[in-house]
Chain A
Amino acid sequence: MRLVALDTLAERIGLKRGQGAAEARAMCPALDVIVADPSADQAFLEGLADWCDRYTPLVALDGKDGLFLDITGCAHLFGGEKALVSDVLSRLFALGVEARATISSSAGLSWAASRHGHADVIDPEEADRILAPLPVAALRLPAETVAALERVGLREIGDLLKAPRAPLARRFGPQLLLRLDQARGRVDEPLSPRLPVPSFSAERRFAEPLQDEAYILELTRHLAKDVRASLERQGEGGRLFELLLFRVDGRVFRVQAHAAFALNDAGRIAALFRERLQAVHDDLDAGFGFEILRLAVLRSERLDPAQQDFSGVPDESQPLAAFVDKVSARFGPDCLMQACFAESHLPERAGGFFPLRDVAALLDAPGLEGGAFPENRPLRIFAHPEPVEATAEVPEGPPRSFNWRKTRYRVARAEGPERIAAEWWIDGEDHPTRDYFRVEDQEGRRFWLFREGLYEREVSSARWFMHGVFA
């Protein structure tokens, strides 16, 4: 067992990363060793990143123990950069997280100064002065480059700044100079935020934490009104909404709600979340309350304002969309299903029910014209054909009687066989053929049975299955 991480106290005693746990215990018998759990660390870091969403939507993860926050245009909301840093650090300290932070004009400089220096806010002109005394490891270089630099006596970044660039590039590769330029702000370094930035959002901060669900819903409606204003300006409506609830203890809840149609009506947006909060009721633990509420539009579409006509024929798509939204907010977006048909001979592939995608298509689809389709298919089909024991007079013929679900049925009439071969381009060539029979028992129940496999060609003893029931 080796040490992988240390707190400040342990560092002060003189313990090192990579040291054996037994050796460390020998140095300090009262040592408290906790088994490392990288996935839990990662989850915690992501939780912190969620929490940092309160400062800026652009939060990027940095390795296992860092976060980049792009606060361009955000600092004045918190009373300036200095106030922002102290706010972040004091709040994190209150959460029990030991953190260091630096604000500067480039990600590389912030990284170097927060991990190896002491400055909290760095002026762009002072970049070189701050960088010079830092060790070369502060440039985010691979370990072997750092070792090679130290071998030739280039221990501090100041040494690199003084050295000529061409030989450095020749000897240590382009990575070194790239990192150096990034740290000095000469080369732009894009951060990749972990979540896409919503195009529309609105938020409220509360002096007192909020616990009651009714208040949360009421505030959601207010937020929706704010969002509506900006949506209307762009001529858009939201399809996917997200409500972020920042709990006072740092936990952040994200509740998403889908809309069947582009939506910008505050009442209907709030109604979506009413159902959604009902559904996630048990998971949403208000604890000591929420301090920030934010409503974001993650996906939006063009929404043309429609004029209601006077024809008297009600527009059915809106109420239907409202119904679909309400049900899918409560039971998940896949709960409403719609019939789909496919060109296939196999009954289970020819048609089925799939999650509803487009509400408008449901109303606009062309209806059945003329008579019904001539194909003879059952009304209900079993998801997995159920094996039955059947006896037939002749091997290839229809069954005389069969046992299904522990009951014996005597076949009065039978139609068939309808031979359906497997689709070799999907199932492979040795998939058995099915002979389907439509049978009626003596009391008038109609079933769809099939025999799997052709005698002598494919199988020696065929198996029978119950696949569906007719009206």
Chain B
Amino acid sequence: MAENAVQRQTILSLRESIARIENGCSTAVVPAIRDADRAGFRRGRERAPDRQVMPFGIASLDDVLKGGLPLEGLVEIRNAETRDAGAAAGFVMALAVLYQQRRKQKGHLAPVLWISQALAAREAGNPYAPGLRSYGLDAERLLFVSAGKVKDALWIAETALSVPVFATIVLEIRGNPASLALSESRRLHVKARAGQVPLLLFRQAGEEEASSAFFRFQVKPAPAGERPLPDGSMLCGSVGHPSFHLLVEKNRASAPHDIFLEWNAHDRRFYPLDERRSAALQAIDQPEDPGDPLSASAGRSCRAEPLGRLLAFARAS
């Protein structure tokens, strides 16, 4: 009898962890079984199975992300080339603003921690406080740490994840260092979920690599719109709100997806670019010469689909 119960408990916990890995797709099954199994052992800490998310407010993107960005766990954002780091930093900071806003609505004015590998800041520039403020971030609540080594940066990130203070933690790493491979990303992901903090891994000029992140985005620059004039028309030749070309490279549900977004610092939210402009930008984005060595590696639409489903990448680090 006792043996039987232990076996059942083992199977249940395995099922549960599989469901957690698949993240929400079949979580409904497990609680149902568990609830039915009154005689089984219950674990001390159990959380509500529904994942808390922060929606973007853009239907097509939220569908792909199954509701929005997770409020705990790892999300990876990368850019292909160093010169695109401005756009990627813009997207990451916009997410930080959104997370900060969310915490503020709950009554907390939470700080944001930005951990940066020293090399990354040297290559792509230091964060600039007035710029961050004009971008919508509560810059006085931004803590910035520059770590000499990747290991130090990871240590700081782990320490910060155990403190339930930060609205979000940005970990900026350059390239694909060997000290941040799949197992380390798994560790960060687990810690971030345990600490209930969203961790944004900002991989500057990095390849796509197998990781435990919920989502991986690639951010490419996109031409901005024009500044609106009071009478509704646009100021010709001006550079308006920052725009991004966002590729959802990894998600749990559907195929890779891309979308053009515009960040409005005043409203503190993303808006999708309208259809016509997106289509025009998509056309620009197709490289004229496919052999261009500087083109990003994730333009998948023009590449032959590999046979079968790619489950894990060869290690880039």
Contacts and interface: CB of A to CB of B under 8 A. Distances in A.
A380 B124 contact: yes
Name the residue among B128, B143, B155 with the largest chain A CB count within 10 angstroms: B128
Given A446-B239, A469-B86, A340 B133 contact: no
A372 B155 CA distance: 33
B93 A379 contact: yes
B87 A335 contact: no
Contacts of A347: 128, 130
A445 B83 contact: yes
A414 to B, nearest CB: 8
Interface stretch (B11-19, B65-73, B220-228, B298-306): B220-228
A268 B203 CA distance: 34
Q: Does more than half of chain B's interface fall in helix, strand or loop, or is it mixed? A: mixed
A77 B131 CA distance: 62
B297 to A, nearest CB: 16
B78 to A, nearest CB: 16
Nearest to A275: B159
Interface in A403-425: 405, 407, 412-415
Interface string A425-455: 0000000000000101011111100000000
Nearest to B134: A373
Contacts of A376: 134
Contacts of B281: 444
Interface in A314-340: 314, 316, 319-320, 322-323, 326-327, 330-331, 335-340
A289 to B, nearest CB: 29
A124 interface: no
A105 B131 CA distance: 67
Q: Does more than half of chain A's interface fall in helix, strand or loop, or is it mixed? A: mixed
B275 to A, nearest CB: 18
A379 B127 contact: yes
Contacts of A445: 83-84, 86-87, 221
Contacts of B222: 444
B141 interface: yes
A214 interface: no
Nearest to B109: A367
Q: Chain B interface: which size bin?
A: 35 or more
A187 interface: no
B31 interface: no
B143 A362 contact: yes
A382 B126 contact: yes
Contact of A470 (B90, B136, B155, B159): B90
A415 B87 contact: no
A305 interface: no
A341 B129 contact: yes
Contact of A471 (B93, B139, B238): B93
Contacts of A351: 128-130, 133, 139
Given A375-B134, A379-B93, A323 B163 contact: yes
A265 B248 CA distance: 47
B242 A327 contact: no
Name the residue among A313, A327, A407 with the largest chain B CB count within 10 angstroms: A327
Given A337-B145, A368-B138, A380-B126, 17 more contacts: A314-B164, A339-B129, A352-B129, A362-B111, A362-B143, A363-B111, A367-B140, A368-B133, A372-B133, A373-B134, A379-B127, A413-B239, A443-B223, A444-B223, A446-B86, A470-B242, A471-B135
10 contacts: A316-B110, A323-B163, A326-B159, A341-B133, A367-B138, A372-B136, A374-B134, A375-B130, A446-B86, A469-B85
